[in-house]
Structure formats: C-alpha cells, structure tokens
Amino acid sequence: MVERIVVIGADAAGMSAASQALRTAAGRGRELEIVAVDRGRWTSYSACGIPYWVAGDVDGPDALIARTAEEHRANGIDVRLGTVAESVDLAAGTVEVAGIDDDRRERLGFDQLVLAIGAVPVRPDLPGIEARGIFGVQTLDDGAAVIDYLGIRKPRTAVVVGAGYIGLEMAEALVRRGMHVTVVEQEPEPMTTLDPDLGKSVRMAMIGMGIDVRTETGVEAFEAGGDGHVRRLVTESGEVDADVVVLGIGVRPASELASAAGLPLGAGGGIRVDDRLRVRGTENVWAAGDCVETFDRVRGAYVHVPLGTHANKQGRVLGTNLGGGDATFPGIVGTAVSKICDLEIARTGLREVDADAAGLEYVAVTIESTTRSGYYPGAEPLTVKVLAERPGGRLLGAQIVGKEDAAKRIDVLAMALWNEMTVMDVAMTDLSYAPPFSPVWDPVQIAARKAADKLT
Amino acid sequence: MVERIVVIGADAAGMSAASQALRTAAGRGRELEIVAVDRGRWTSYSACGIPYWVAGDVDGPDALIARTAEEHRANGIDVRLGTVAESVDLAAGTVEVAGIDDDRRERLGFDQLVLAIGAVPVRPDLPGIEARGIFGVQTLDDGAAVIDYLGIRKPRTAVVVGAGYIGLEMAEALVRRGMHVTVVEQEPEPMTTLDPDLGKSVRMAMIGMGIDVRTETGVEAFEAGGDGHVRRLVTESGEVDADVVVLGIGVRPASELASAAGLPLGAGGGIRVDDRLRVRGTENVWAAGDCVETFDRVRGAYVHVPLGTHANKQGRVLGTNLGGGDATFPGIVGTAVSKICDLEIARTGLREVDADAAGLEYVAVTIESTTRSGYYPGAEPLTVKVLAERPGGRLLGAQIVGKEDAAKRIDVLAMALWNEMTVMDVAMTDLSYAPPFSPVWDPVQIAARKAADKLT
C-alpha cells in the first residue's frame, strides 16, 4: 500500500522532512506519495539570507533557494505553491487547500500529516499598524515584498522596531542601501539575547555604522500619509521619520491551523511534539521547524526557538521517522550567532537574567583576549563571558562579542553545555592552537579558567 | 618553613608552574622559594611564533616573550638564565648547575624539583650532519641562531627536511624571505599528521607558493663546502642545493637529565608522570611540557605530544599542586592546527592508519562544504573528514583542510572526542549558524551526518 503524506509548509523543515522520508522509505522498499503545499512562491530557501539580499550582497531570490520546486518534483514530491492549507480534519484525515490567487480548492486525504507551518512576525497592536510599508521579514515572499517596496518607493528614512538579530541585520542592510536608519528598542541595550554589558558593544557597533539607536523607547503609533503609506513613528521619546518600517520584535509560531484542528500547543504557542517530532497525543501527525516548541537542555524546559538550523535538523529527524526509520531530535542549548557590521556576536545557554530566574547560584566572568596570538598580525580583540554554577562549576551559558574570527568559538562552549561540562573541564580540554588561530590559551578557555578560579 | 623549589627550564611549562605555585601557595599562606634555571636567554616565550619571526611578520624576540625574566624576578622567582642543570641527585635533593658562558658552578638544594626541560629537534645520524647551517628550531635561541645565519650568510637556497608543522611553517617563512626552498619528506604526502588524501591538498598549497616538494625521498648526506658550511643535500633522488637547512623531522624529549637521575621514562622517551604531574615513583619531583609523556584519551595510551598548549596547561596544573592545591591534567585527544600559505590544516584524534593499528572497525567519510553559506560573499571551500567506529558510531578522529575560517572548527570535533560522542550525536548538536559563519548544517555536522548515514 502506498502511504499518502501531506506536508504543509515547503521551506526547510517541511521539505527536509519530505526528502528524508522518501530516502528512508526507499531504503526500506516502502513507497510514499507526498504532496507539499505552501502559500509562498518558493521552496527550501534560506530566510536567514534575506538581509543580505536586501543589502545587495546576494542575488536573491535564486541564490537563497537550496532546492527549487522543480527539483523537488523531479524527486517525486508533488509540490503545490501558492496554495493555502485552510483547515485540517484529523478524524477524516483530510486537509482543505485553496489557491491563493485562483479558485482552486481541494480536499487532500492523508495517512500521515506533516505540519511545517513556520512562524509569523509579531505585529504590535498599535494605531496605524495597517499602514503600507510596515514589513515583517520571515519568508522569502516577505523579503521580496520589502525589496519591491524599496525599489518603487525609494525611501530615504527607515525605522527598525526591535534590536534583535533580524532587526539589526535588516538595519545594516538598509544603511548599506543608503537610508538613514533608526532602530527603536524597548530594552536598555540592543541584542537582548546577550547580557546588557555585552549588548553595549553592539550598540557601539550600530552607532559606528551611523544607525540612530533609541533604546528604552516604546513605539506608540505609526502614522501614514494620505496615500496610506507609513510616514513616521510616534515613540515615547518623540516622532521619527520612517518611509519604511521593518518589524524585528520577534515571531510567533503560525500554529492557528494546528490549534483549530485540536492539536496541543505549548505555553509559547508552539506545537507540542515528542523527541521523534510526532505531535503529542496523535498517531499520524508530525511537526517541525519554527512552528514547534523545542526542548532546551540547559533550562530543562520547552521553548520556542525559531532558527533555520533547528528546522533543518528537525526536518531530517521527522523525515527519517516518517519513512520508517528511527531518529530523535535531542533538543537545543540556545546557541546563536550574528554579525553587525564587523562585530561578531554569539551566545549559548543562559544569560544572567535566565540564571537568576531559574534561582541558580553562579559566577559570571568576562575576559578580554584576542582572536590570534597577540603578536600575530591581524589579531583582533574579543570578549568572552561565561556563567558557571556555584559551587560545582557546571557551565551555564556563554557570550562572545568581537571582531573577525571571534564568534564561531561559541561552538566549543555549546559542545561543553551539551555535555554538561564544568568550567574546570573546559579549561583543560584539548583545543587547537597555533599563532594564526588563537592565543596559546584559547579565549574560551581563559574565560573558563577564570570562572574556575573564582569558584575556588 | 619555607619550601625550596628548583625549576629546570624557564619556558611555558616551567614558568607557568612556578607562577601558579606562588599564586596557589600565597592563597594558602604558604611561602615558597623558587629558583628557575635555563640554558637559554629568555623565559616564557612562544616557540610557535619563531616561523613568523623568521618570515618577518613578528618583531622577535621581544614580541614572542609573554613574560620576561625581570618580570618573573619582580614576582619573586629567582630566574637564572644561561645556566645549565648538569645533574640531579634525588637522594641528596640537589641539582648541579653551571654557567653556560662562564665558570659559575653551584649545587642547588631543593625540597621539590620541577623538570620542564623540553624537547630537542631530532638530528639524523647522517654524514655531514655536523656542517654549519643545519638548524633545528625548538627554542627561541634556535630561532635567533637561524635569523643570525640568514642575515650573515644571505642564503639563496634552503632545504627543509621533514614536511610536518614546523617544517612547513619554516618553509613558508624562508620562501617569504626570498629563498628558493625545497622540502624533502620520506612519506608519500606532506603533513603526515593527516591522512594522505588530505595531505595532498597541503602538497598543492606548497607547490602553489613555489616550494619544490620532494616526497618519498630520503636524505642520505649533507655536504659542506671548504668553510664548513652546508652546501647541498644528497637525497635518494639526487642532490639539492642548500645554503641553509632546517630540520623538521620532529623533536624528542630532552630527558637525559631525568634518565641519568634514575627517573622513569616512557616508550617515547618522555618522563612518566601521573595526572597531577608528579613523576611516577617519586614524592617530590614533578614534570611538565615537552619532556613528559601525556595520556591520549582516544588511544587510551601515553604518547609524546610536544605542543605549547599542553605545556601551558600542564604547567598550571603542576603549579597548583606544587603550591598545595589539587588539580589534574586530564589528557589530550591529539588536536593540532596549522596554516600553510592560505591553507588551514587541522586534525584531532585518530587517522586511518592509527585506527587500523588499533584494530578498530570504522567508517571514514570526507565531505566538501564551505566556510560560510554558499551564497554569502567570501564563502571558501573546505574539506572535512571524520572517522567513526563501527557499528556504534563513536567519533574516532577528524581532519579539516580549507581556506580562511576552516580549521578552528576542529575544536567542535575535539570537544566531541573529549566527551566520547557518536557521530549521530555530533550531527544533532546545537552549533551556531548564520550565513556569514556557516552553511545551515555546519560542515563538521555534514561530515558527522554522512558518517552516521554510512553506519546504518
């Protein structure tokens, strides 16, 4: 019997799942029939690349597409773009789909259902939010819409609301397109995924590239001109001109479809799945990517962390299971990296505020070092901060900011977190050293060592 | 009672030990009197920086010195340079020392003895090896001798014997000083710390910078001119002009002093120590750095791995114990990194030949990827090879070659080895991702994933 699978969402999680399901099933002599629907125009793309497309560094959208719909079709997946899944009937095993630009309407039957329905940018419920020219940036279609708008309207001023990863990457892209850019952020420092002491470096980098940084500033309203296009923001600290606005205040799981079908959602709105990525309480419904909640190994709790790297891994795990194999997604530790101008920024695990909230006793150590041996040409400064539990020394979290070759070192600390290592252990592990790559004590080990010293 | 400590060897291991012993003892209200002797002219330097000093990238020797003798003296350590330790009498608790350029002679009494006597370059027992202008490069004095020779003799041709890390770094330095450089190596490919398939990339990089690479070529003799200075090499495949020769065929522990004192040596000639770095079978003799053998956690055996990063860590552990604290050196996994021209080279754990020798069943997987997302400007190619044990998937070793930002990724795999992770686990860990730093699957995870696939 051929098993019929419907995949809703044709980006990283959904199409990784579909491809891996076919591969796994083929290895077991099983046959699958897979239909994948998506409201957008593209499949399997890098949404993370949108800011570089906007900046003009990347020829989008083609360069951002890892695998086209045609390639997926050639691989045997019935991909239907411009197609919205309107509702799911779990009892009947059907999905109602409709064409987004036409009258197509169909009821697709499934034996197994995959929800890879992603996340949507949070749009604050403020006066004027419906003005034209206020964009969230989550899908490639969102990116195309921004680029069209910039091309047609040629804005001179831009405001980014929210100074997180996407907000700052978009702010830099807009500066590079010649706009005067203001970033408005409610918190005292940008990049609140870092502790504020490191966030300060991010602020300096933003100012250095000419961005008008307004922190501790709430947005009160958006104002449109007579043509319905946004013209300015009203904030707690005055008005700011804005020919275009980018919203960077986060995304929420696009889980309405799942919710309406009666599937379980976690506190953050993500679909609740087990570690094989089956939706809890179901036999034949699976979910992965930005729409699910994920186990945080450090917090010991489920969280919503919508990142492409997790979506790809989860898609692969899901697909393996769907195809008759057995794989588990072991969770995350909260690793992330970004680059603002020439400042690299990375983090993993808990911030001080997280450790405080968890009631943990800890030491926090911040050190300054260099990316290469101090005497080696091109050595750049970097700052590493680590948190270690008191008294045992278990690593709790780490943050890095610095110039070229600083940030990727976070992976060492992510591996340490993953393996529940102490800072004493981290300080003594066998990391690579040569003058072009590191001081003789790698900066992450200097930080671990100082934390260990502080514990004794 | 003030405890009297003699440290033999005033580079990384010895002076880290001395400094840390003082720090630790001070925290415990104990007083130490430390004498450190060294035959050389400098303390606490980066021998790894010598090739960059020779190349002219670094102003040596000052820039390579982390802490001068004066600084150590100000810290309370009685540093005596140009001083050779000639013999140790363990029963009497004394060391015979002599001035290297004068008639000084003294018997130093000790309560605790620290041996940080380093390693010496292997000099092959071949005709003509005593010619002038044939240099090993291990100490800063060695580096100074090479630089003096280059300055005075202005050689036009150079031969490097041995294509390991130091050999290749020196070969590049000599090319950059305008010499015609030949590298002679017995094995089929350079950089035998890699498997030959990756060694081939190193050969191409060497050729690309104009080095004459002669592999599978043994050296038979060195020929000197009438002035006693080397003029050419006789090799199995003909003669090679050589106005200067650098030996890069490895170093051996400088353990004669220890051996003569009756201290235990391992198979590789390294002093045998426990994990607190006390010499086995003794109460008050300690050793660290290039003169000791070290536990390899992957092989489960003691090996001689003379690297500055281990010497520093061991010195610190030793000093903590010496000062009354308690620390252990947990061993190594065989991580190393180097750079030849613009090619980065890294390795950790076992090569295929090591795994074969250990009688292990394994899969080996080599993948090509990029240092950044493929579409992101500046993405460079890199190759990652991983070995995983069959059938369980335990990571056994890894190698990376590639352009800028390739090699430091080895640290992730070193951490995985350290924690005895499987390739399945490595593929799913939470590493940082953003387009300027990595493809969405980090290259090390692509390699781990493919190895996992091959196992199933």
Q: Which of B49, B330, B377 sits opposite A57 (nearest CB)?
A: B377
Output b/e per residue, B296-326; b: 16+ Cβ within 10 A: bbbbeebbbbbbbbbbbbbbbbbbbbbbbbe
pLDDT at position B456, please?
A: 86
Give me the residue label for tokens 């000197």.
B224
pLDDT at position B396, please?
A: 98
Task: Name residue A360's amino acid.
Answer: L
Coil, helix or strand at residue A174: helix
Q: Six-digit token pair at B150?
A: 């280059």
Output b/e per residue, B396-419; b: 16+ Cβ within 10 A: bbbbbbbbbbbbbbbbbbbbbbbb
Please give the span between the terminal C-alpha atoms of chain B, in angstroms, as a whole number.
65
Instruction: Please tell me the distance in Å from A240's CA to the nearest CA on chain B.
Output: 30
pLDDT at position B448, please?
A: 98
* CA proximity to B144, closest of B47, B66, B79: B47
Predicted confidence (pLDDT) per residue in A13-24, tens digit: 999 999 999 999
Q: What is the mean pLDDT of residues B243-247?
A: 98
Residue A311 has pLDDT above 90, yes or no: yes
pLDDT at position B60, please?
A: 81
H/E element holding A224?
strand A219-224
- CATH fold for domain A336-455: FAD/NAD(P)-binding domain (3.50.50)
Q: Which of B12, B52, B313 sits opposite A428 (nearest CB)?
A: B313
Instruction: Report angle CA B444, B449, B454 to the nearest 5 degrees.
Output: 130
User: Considering the domain B3-120+252-322 in this protein, what is its CATH number?
Assistant: 3.50.50.60
Task: Name residue B89's amino acid.
Answer: D
Dihedral angle over CA of A304, A309, A313, A316, nearest 10: 110
Predicted confidence (pLDDT) per residue in B59-75, tens digit: 989 999 999 999 999 99
Dihedral angle over CA of A286, A289, A293, A299, nearest 10: 130
A contacts of B348 (beta carbons < 8 Å): 430, 432
Position B248 confidence tier, pLDDT thresholds 50, 70, 90: very high
Q: Give ipTM to 2 decimals.
A: 0.97
Q: Are B58 and A338 a contacting pair at CB < 8 A?
A: no
Predicted confidence (pLDDT) per residue in B139-189, tens digit: 999 999 999 999 999 999 999 999 999 999 999 999 999 999 999 999 999
User: Considering the domain B123-247 in this protein, what is its CATH number?
Assistant: 3.50.50.60
A contacts of B437 (beta carbons < 8 Å): 337, 339, 344, 407-408
Q: Six-digit token pair at B404?
A: 């800028």
Instruction: Please tell me the distance in Å from A294's CA to the nearest CA on chain B.
Output: 12
Q: Which of B64, B407, B418 sits opposite A429 (nearest CB)?
A: B418
Contacts of B445 (CB under 8 A, 6+ apart): B426, B427, B428, B429, B431
Closest alpha carbon within chain B to A424: B327
Distance (Å, rounded) from C-alpha B245 to C-alpha B126? 14
- Number of H helices and number of E strands within chain A? 12, 25
A contacts of B345 (beta carbons < 8 Å): none
Q: Six-digit token pair at B397?
A: 């070793």
Q: β-strand A180-184 against A212-214: which pairing, if any?
A: parallel
Q: Are B430 and A437 a contacting pair at CB < 8 A?
A: no
Report phi then psi at A201, rounded to 5.
-65, -35
Optimal mutation site among B411, B412, B437, interface A, most CBs of chain A within 10 A:
B411
pLDDT at position B110, please?
A: 98
Distance (Å, rounded) from C-alpha A320 to C-alpha B273? 48
The structural domains of chain B, with segments of one domain joined by +, span 3-120+252-322, 123-247, 338-455
Distance (Å, rounded) from C-alpha B219 to C-alpha B221? 6
Q: Do domains B3-120+252-322 and B123-247 have the same CATH topology?
A: yes
Position A245 confidence tier, pLDDT thresholds 50, 70, 90: very high
Position A63 confidence tier, pLDDT thresholds 50, 70, 90: very high
Residue B126 burial class via C-beta count within 10 angstroms: exposed 0-12, middle 13-18, buried 19 and up: middle
Residue B289 has pLDDT above 90, yes or no: yes
Q: Are A440 and B336 a contacting pair at CB < 8 A?
A: no
Dihedral angle over CA of A132, A136, A141, A144, nearest 10: 70
Predicted confidence (pLDDT) per residue in B219-235, tens digit: 999 999 999 999 999 99
A contacts of B338 (beta carbons < 8 Å): 434
Q: What is the mean pLDDT of residues A297-304?
A: 96
Residue B1 has pLDDT above 90, yes or no: no
Distance (Å, rounded) from C-alpha A80 to C-alpha A95? 13
Residue B266 has pLDDT above 90, yes or no: yes
% of chain B at pLDDT higher than 90: 99
Instruction: Please tell me the distance in Å from A65's CA to the nearest CA on chain B.
Output: 9
Closest alpha carbon within chain B to A418: B429
Tell me the CATH architecture of domain B338-455: 3-Layer(bba) Sandwich (3.50)
* CA proximity to A373, closest of B128, B456, B204, B309: B309
Instruction: Report angle CA B245, B246, B251 to the nearest 5 degrees.
Output: 140
In A38-146, DSSP assigns E strands to 77-80, 83-89, 94-99, 105-109, 112-115, 119-121, 134-136
Residue A456 has pLDDT above 90, yes or no: no
Closest alpha carbon within chain B to A404: B405
Number of CB atoms found within 10 A of residue B28's CB: 10
- Number of H helices and number of E strands within chain B? 12, 25
Which CATH code of 1.10.275.10, 3.50.50.60, 3.40.50.1110, 3.40.50.720 fits the domain covering A3-120+251-322?
Answer: 3.50.50.60
A contacts of B52 (beta carbons < 8 Å): 375-377, 435
Q: Which of A330, A408, A430 sits opposite B428 (nearest CB)?
A: A330
Q: Are B434 and A48 a contacting pair at CB < 8 A?
A: yes
Residue A264 has pLDDT above 90, yes or no: yes
Q: How many CA atoms lie within 13 A of B19 on its CB side?
A: 23
Number of CB atoms found within 10 A of residue B358's CB: 15
Q: Six-digit token pair at B66?
A: 């982390």
Active-site annotation holder among A4, A23, A33, A48: A48
Q: Are A375 and B407 a contacting pair at CB < 8 A?
A: no
Optimal mutation site among A303, A348, A411, interface B, most CBs of chain B within 10 A:
A411
A contacts of B415 (beta carbons < 8 Å): 412, 415-416, 419, 429, 431
pLDDT at position A1, please?
A: 78
Position A308 confidence tier, pLDDT thresholds 50, 70, 90: very high
Residue A60 has pLDDT above 90, yes or no: no
Number of CB atoms found within 10 A of residue B206's CB: 24
Q: Which stretches within B125-228 are classed as H helix?
A: 140-153, 165-176, 196-208
Q: What is the mean pLDDT of residues B286-300?
A: 97
Instruction: Please tell me the distance in Å from B203's CA to the nearest CA on chain A.
Output: 20
Predicted confidence (pLDDT) per residue in A176-214, tens digit: 999 999 999 999 999 999 999 999 999 999 999 999 999
CB pairs under 8 A between A and B: 196
Closest alpha carbon within chain B to A59: B375
Optimal mutation site among A294, A432, A438, interface B, most CBs of chain B within 10 A:
A432
Q: What is the mean pLDDT of residues B428-435?
A: 98
Q: What is the mean pLDDT of residues B328-347?
A: 97
Contacts of A238 (CB under 8 A, 6+ apart): none
Contact by Cβ (8 Å): B120, B270: no
Distance (Å, rounded) from C-alpha A135 to C-alpha A243? 12
Contacts of B161 (CB under 8 A, 6+ apart): B124, B167, B183, B184, B219, B233, B245, B246, B247, B248, B249
> What mean pLDDT is reported for chain A?
97
Distance (Å, rounded) from C-alpha B260 to C-alpha B95? 12
Q: Are A437 and B339 a contacting pair at CB < 8 A?
A: yes
H/E element holding A398?
strand A395-402
Q: Which of B335, B339, B433 sits opposite A309 (nearest CB)?
A: B433
